[in-house]
Amino acid sequence: MIHIIGMWRAKKKLLCACIFLLALCIFIWAPKRYSALDISNRMNSVPEVLLDERLWAAKTYEHIHFRVKGEAAGLLAKNVCRCENEEMPVNIPLSKPVFHLASAVQLKRIFSISELEDLQKKRDQEYQKFLKRSQSPLDLLIIAKANSPLEYPVQGLQVRPLKSILIPGLSLQASTRDIYRVNLTASLGIFQLAAEVDEVSFQGDGEMHLSLSSPQTENLNKQLQFVMYTNTLFHPNTADIVHFTTDGYEAYFSIKVQHPTPPKLYHPGTSGEYDISALVTIATKTFLRYSMLRKLIKSIRKYYPTVKIVIADDSNVTEKVEGPNIEQYFMPFEKGWFAGRNLAISQVTTKYFLWVDDDFIFTNETKIEKLVDVLEKTTLDVVGGAVREVTGYSTTYRQKITVEAGGDDGDCLHTRQGFHHIIKGFPNCVVTDGVINFFLARTEKARQVGFDPKLNRVAHLEFFIDGLGILHVGSCDDVVVSHASKIRLPWTKTKEDKLYATYRYPKALGSNKDLQYRLFYFKNRFKCMTGN
């Protein structure tokens, strides 16, 4: 009887385990529902307003009762971010890799107390300088008063430095009164009248303060159509905040002072719908692995015989790699991974560049035209492909990156595997924030971000972290490049393999992480990070 009960209990445990594994499989492999979004044109954006917690303690109308909705209020930014490990409610073996739970890193821990105090002081100083350089009067939150009779341009008004424009949209829609008055005040320029209207009096023509008055609203509004603004203080990439008033009402609007950005256009070529040789340069960085590099070039030439290849090389004993449309640039020994990327893309003269590692192999699935089509028809700046390992498994390394405000102590960096939405018209492509080390990018946008030369042998995601808010990133899994096998039996390893491994996989791995954390802490002003 006891034996039967024991068998029954064992079967029950086995059944529970099977149910758990079945549920786990369904969770992992079940198709996820994502909406497809059209990104063929820039979408109109609404400025975000972060509500301060002091809103709840505001003295205005304090006698009126209110109830805070916890679920909605919890979505508001609180400026007190934290990085914490994600844990399962129940301790399950291998739960972190299976459920992609995030682990947390507190960046302060790698510093001594004395070093941290000095570093944080310098970081705060540099951060304040950064704010002064990057912030504009356009960042000032301006609320238009309700029921104001004043009409004025809210956004989009721009003048070139030391030039003049007519101010559109100025009008007064006031109730009946004996005299109608408006005043305009600027700080970086003057107002002038392009014409004078009957029955309108004015003061301050050619000055920073202009006053207009008339017994007739129609006449006053006609005069407002001829009000010009002239920028007189040369300070490009700033804004003048204009104070616009009438009896009992006031408003503010901005005039951006900025040079128009000259376009940088690239000739698209003449052969076919997409002339890949005219549109794309293939860029790579090599270090010691000349046999791998030659295999890559041979595979490229099989499918793209005329596309230019740019090679950055920081090997100590160099070998010349020659051939049509190949440019090899030598660097100081062990100058580094990101320094090589900077050098390579600095020599690109085409609209796009395709980044590849020197141990990749092109196949009939490596269709650059597909990636070009995505960038030509969307607002994306970078689109990654997929890399197929020798096992047959392909990866896209899609990463979602967010930075959460954290107050005086620094911000929190969060990275998660995944993507935001599918791209309409490209069912195999999605929008994300970071992609695999095989991507097509707009040359000018990538140069705008750049690659930090301090990151030497190990780096990749750092480029997309630096590009957050600058780069619009996508990923397509139907453009695939093969990865040469890294598996070598000890007796088959060449001298090149062994030498490369000593630099690529140094014994002191902690030193690379320490450098990465130091850059995150000071350069990017992060206090901690989470990721899976």
The gap from C-alpha 196 to its chain's centroid, in whole angstroms, comes to 49
Produce one character per residue of 444-465: b if its CB has 16 or more CB atoms within 10 Å, e if not: eebeebebbeebbebbbbbbbb
Report, in angstroms and rounded to the nearest whole number, the Rg of the chain calculated over CA atoms.
Answer: 30
Q: Are 244 and 184 in contact (CB under 8 A)?
A: yes
Does 57 have pLDDT greater than 50?
yes
Q: Where are the beta strands (DSSP E) in 418-505?
A: 421-423, 426-432, 439-442, 473-483
* Mean pLDDT for the chain overall: 85
Task: Walk me through the domains of the chain, giving residue ranges and CATH numbers.
Answer: 139-257 (2.60.40), 276-531 (3.90.550.10)
Average pLDDT estimate for 13-17:
61
Question: Would you state the structure tokens that stand for residue 24, as one six-digit string?
Answer: 């786990």
Of 463, 478, 486, the closest CA to residue 399 belongs to 463
Range of weakest confidence among 147-151, 239-243, 278-282: 147-151
Q: Which residue has 């954006």 as its token pair?
A: 45
What does DSSP assign to residue 110?
G
Average pLDDT estimate for 30-59:
52
Pick 526 or 90 by higher pLDDT. 526
Of 466, 464, 484, the closest CA to residue 475 belongs to 464
DSSP three-state, residue 93: coil
Average pLDDT estimate for 63-74:
69
Question: Would you state the structure tokens that stand for residue 340, as one six-digit string?
Answer: 């090589």
**Per-residue confidence (pLDDT) for residue 252, from 0 to 100:** 92
Alpha-carbon separation of residue 141 from 47, 49, 57, 189 (angstroms): 9, 8, 20, 21
Residues linked to residue 18 through DSSP beta bridges, in sequence order: none
pLDDT band at 204 (very low <50, low <70, confident <90, very high): very high
pLDDT band at 504 (very low <50, low <70, confident <90, very high): low
Average pLDDT estimate for 496-514:
63
Phi/psi for 316 (5° steps) reads -85, -45
**Per-residue confidence (pLDDT) for residue 378, from 0 to 100:** 93
What is the end-to-end Cα distance of the chain in Å, rounded? 49
pLDDT band at 165 (very low <50, low <70, confident <90, very high): very high
Average pLDDT estimate for 271-276:
84
**Per-residue confidence (pLDDT) for residue 72, from 0 to 100:** 67
Q: In what helix (H) or strand (E) does residue 465 lie, and over which residues does it extend?
A: helix 461-466
Does 243 have pLDDT greater than 80?
yes
Distance CA 152, CA 146 (A): 14
Residue type, 428: N
Q: Are 468 and 403 in contact (CB under 8 A)?
A: yes
